[in-house]
Amino acid sequence: MSAIFADDRASENYAKAVFERLYSNKAIRVACARLLADSIVMAHRVSPSCWTITLFSKQIRLNVGPVEVVVLNPDHIFLPIADSDNKHLDKGKYHDFVTESKVYYRSVKINQRICRIPPESIEKFYPLIHENHSKLIQLAAKTRSITSWKYSFSPGVILYLNTLLKKTLPVPAYFSDQVDSEELNVLQEIEQFQDSYQTLQETTREAVIQSRIGQGQFRTSLIEYWKGCSVTGCQQIELLRASHIKPWRDSSNTERLDVYNGLLLLPNLDACFDSGLISFDDKGNILISSRLDKSTLLQLGIDSNLKLSRVDPRHRVYLRYHREKRFRP
């Protein structure tokens, strides 16, 4: 089973396509997603760097320590479990899904069984072996502080699971060192809006995407327009952040590239503006949320005398949107 390209591993849309190829039935797909999510959470609680999830073109695999703890295939789901005295595993309709007890993964020194479950049976079968599966995951997580397969981590799977299950799953610590949760949300947001710019020319589409992460032509245009921080005038350009006034997710593609929909701000001002803790009136005067106390304002270097260095009439429609939709008085 060959791995896919890094760009595909990061893509929620690609992960969605693989899941749908594996399981066309939505109920089965959701049941498998819940199994995967549950296993990720159990591993992460023990050791935030012990696990990775890898997306292949025809398979999805979760590794914890040295163990493949979940492998989603089209014809069966592979699960190792800690052995137990559960009689229902030895009798009845699930008997053929479970191997005899033995040490399958020698690094996890307990008797184990291997389950190969038809996808259509996973929803009813998994609760029966949940405790056994959890025990094996916990032991596997303790055998290795950081996974050997971290470079195959596929964030697109996490993005897809978050969307499908309407929850927020953790990312492994070795990955969060490279991209924080906010950046992961940015990736998810870009994926979510892909349909809105599929018809754009490639150069325009790339500019739209780059504008979301404050890079490319959008940032360059803001630097040329403002020459420094839009409020303080600070000209240490590498410190400044390109920020949309009307949020990227709420903007049209034209608005996402509009220089008048952007401010160039120092990080403290950008964080407060993005959180709706400050805004600006039509003359550029700062508006400060009551949620910021005097001590915090002093620490941030924010006071009521700050204002935008310039306000064009074309800024005002965006500033009004921010005041009405984002600002928290």
Best-predicted range by mean pLDDT (69-78, 124-133, 181-190, 267-276): 69-78
Across the range 298-324, mean pLDDT stands at 94
CA atoms within 13 A on the CB side of 306: 20
Q: Note the pLDDT tens digit of each residue in 159-179.
A: 899 889 888 788 888 886 554
> Measured between alpha carbons, how far is residue 122 from residues 29, 35, 36, 255 in Å?
10, 9, 12, 46
Predicted confidence (pLDDT) at residue 40 exceeds the cutoff of 60: yes
Q: Note the pLDDT tens digit of each residue in 216-243.
A: 678 888 999 999 999 999 999 888 988 8
Comparison of pLDDT for 176 and 319, the residue scoring more? 319
Predicted confidence (pLDDT) at residue 1 exceeds the cutoff of 70: no
Whole-number average pLDDT of the chain: 85
Q: Note the pLDDT tens digit of each residue in 169-207.
A: 888 888 865 544 455 555 555 555 565 556 556 566 566
Residue linked to tokens 């921010």: 322
Q: How confident is the model at residue 95 (pLDDT cuts 50, 70, 90)?
A: confident
pLDDT at 175: 80
CB-based contacts of 255: which residues, under 8 Å, 6+ apart? 246, 261, 318
pLDDT at 46: 92
Across the range 57-83, mean pLDDT stands at 94
pLDDT at 213: 54
pLDDT at 39: 96
Q: Which residues share a beta bridge with 31?
A: none
Q: What's the gap between Cα 201 and its chain centre? A: 27
Q: Are 323 and 287 in contact (CB under 8 A)?
A: yes
Cα end-to-end span (Å), the chain? 55
Comparison of pLDDT for 69 and 275, the residue scoring more? 69
pLDDT at 180: 47
3 state DSSP class of 170 = coil
Predicted confidence (pLDDT) at residue 73 exceeds the cutoff of 80: yes
pLDDT at 320: 96
Across the range 111-128, mean pLDDT stands at 92
Q: Note the pLDDT tens digit of each residue in 236-258.
A: 988 898 888 998 778 787 888 78
Q: What percent of the chain has pLDDT over 70?
A: 83
**What's the predicted TM-score (pTM) here?**
0.57
Q: Phi and psi at residue 183, in whole multiples of 5°?
A: -65, -35
pLDDT at 241: 87
Per domain, the residue ranges of the chain are: 6-176, 193-326
CB-based contacts of 13: which residues, under 8 Å, 6+ apart? 156, 191, 194
